[in-house]
Amino acid sequence: MLHPRLRRSLLYVPGNMPSMLQNIPIFPSDVCIIDLEDAVPRTEKDAARLLSRRFIEGYTQRNKELYVRINGLDTPYFRDDLAQILPAMPDGIRLPKCEHPSHLRRIDDLLTEFEEYLGCEIGRFKIIASVESAQGILNVNETARASERLVALGFSAEDYTANLQIDRPKTGEHLVVPRQLLLMACRAAGIQAIDTVWADASDQEGFRRECEHIKVLGFDGKSLINPRQIDVLHDVMAPKPEEIDYALQVVDAIRGAREQGTGVVSLGGKMIDAPVVARAVRVLLSAKSLGLVDTDIDERVIYGDADA
Amino acid sequence: MRINKKAQAGTMQSSDLIVFVEPADDLAIEIESTVQQQFGHLIEARVKQVLKRLSVEQCRIMVSDRGALDYAIDARVEAALRRAN
């Protein structure tokens, strides 16, 4: 079953900027992504790797998921990125320019080699990959299934529009097709879908409208470039009171069924199946992160466990 | 590690530091910091730790600090030394 981990907000943090890195523990985003790619000039890649590594090593009281965006497989930098960063044990890698399933398989193999070298569990390092071109969108269905490590696919509108040789109006009508294709591929593969960044950090109203749009489409989250965007996004993604109420009823029904030792869960005469459970858990995790409920999610109760 | 040429790493942004390294016959460390009085000796101790870890015994190293935390001092000193190697 899809683990309904909350990934609403994925904040990029430049890997060569201490003033931003050391705020990672207090940024209220669900995920921080330390960026070694676009945010770091070529001449500073070495220093950014070292700085990011030392920061991650010292960030032992992790309070959010931590990914590192490495440089693309078409650059001379990604191997050194992995070699420097993985020993510090981030949760995973954000892979840019993932335009073909073979890109994911290649990085998956490399991560396995590092896990063997580092003596950690195979599969420990997760991947969130970015689709950034027309070819990437056309291949997205296969890409979404190319690695067990892949927890989400992200869409990058900046590179996509450049690849299509079009402008990027804020209204987003030119992004309808790639967003829908990426979203459907993610849903079909049982992984999460992450929308593109909103580049104009000064336009909070435009940002809010885009957040509302991608929520309607069904995206799980959005990549962010500015900490000021986090609260707006979380506010838009907040579940409605009736959603929270229904989710609480679902969890109660599961708990009741577990106590009676039955695997069949029903609520109001309707059977509750796995997607409904996953949605209820996501709603409650989101509500809890915003202080709207104080219900703890016990996975053993939710997913069934002999000891629960 | 042998220091063969001049190099530097870091920036003058807040919470960062710049480290300059150049070849020398012995070891010389100079620290300039916005928090010199309270933390100058701790910064120097941190620099010495990195020099020891990378087995650097001869060089001139100048640090201009803007309130960096330990992890940033470690990383910038190491980056400058590796670039000077």
pTM score:
0.91
More confident residue, A71 or A162: A71
Give A119's DSSP letter: T
Q: Give the Å distances, CA to CA, from A282 to A3, A279, A291.
A: 9, 5, 14
Residues of B in contact with A54 (CB under 8 A): 71-72, 74-75
- If you search the block for the tokens 């409904």, which residue do you land on? A276
Amino acid letter for position A71: N
Q: Where are the domains of chain A?
A: 9-237, 241-303
Q: Is the ipTM of this complex over 0.90?
A: yes
Angle of the A204-217 helix axis to the A228-237 helix axis, nearest 10: 40
Comparing CA positions, the residue from A56, A161, A142 lying closest to residue A103 is A142
Q: Give the Å distances, CA to CA, from B36 to A228, B43, B66.
A: 33, 9, 10
CATH fold, domain A9-237, is TIM Barrel (3.20.20)
pLDDT > 90 fraction of chain A, expressed in percent and rounded? 75
Other residues' Cβ atoms within 10 Å of the Cβ of residue A189: 19
Mean pLDDT of chain A: 92
More confident residue, A5 or B70: B70
**Contact at 8 Å (CB) between A50 and A26?**
no
Helix (H) or strand (E) holding A76: none
Query: Among the listed ranges A67-76, A183-192, A259-268, A278-287, which one has the minimum average pLDDT value?
Result: A259-268
Question: Residue A4: which pLDDT band, with cuts at 50, 70 and 90?
Answer: low
Q: What is the spatial distance between Cα A3 and Cα A149, in angstroms, rounded to a whole number?
A: 13
Q: Does A3 have pLDDT greater than 50?
A: no
Q: Does A307 have pLDDT greater than 60?
A: no
Q: Does B79 touch chain A (CB under 8 A)?
A: yes
Could you say which of B13, B14, B71 has the minimum Cβ distance to residue A54?
A: B71
Q: Does A252 have pLDDT greater than 90?
A: no
Helix (H) or strand (E) holding A214: helix A204-217
pLDDT at residue A305 in the model: 58
**Residues A3-8: what's their mean pLDDT?**
80
Phi, psi for A130 (deg, rounded to 5): -105, 130
**Residues A9-36: what's their mean pLDDT?**
97
Rounded to a whole number of angstroms, the CA Rg of chain A reads 20
Domains and CATH numbers, chain B: 7-84 (3.30.230.10)
Residue A125 makes CB contacts below 8 A (sequence gap 6+) with A86, A90, A91, A92, A93, A111, A114, A115, A149
pLDDT per residue over A56-67, tens digit each?
A: 999 999 999 999
**Residues A256-278: what's their mean pLDDT?**
81
**Residues A213-235: what's their mean pLDDT?**
96
Q: Does B68 touch chain A (CB under 8 A)?
A: yes
pLDDT at residue A142 in the model: 97
3-state DSSP assignment of residue A69: strand
Could you say which of B16, B69, B79 has the minimum Cβ distance to residue A46?
A: B79
pLDDT per residue over A162-208, tens digit each?
A: 998 988 778 888 899 999 999 999 999 999 999 999 999 999 999 99
Residues of A in contact with B74 (CB under 8 A): 54
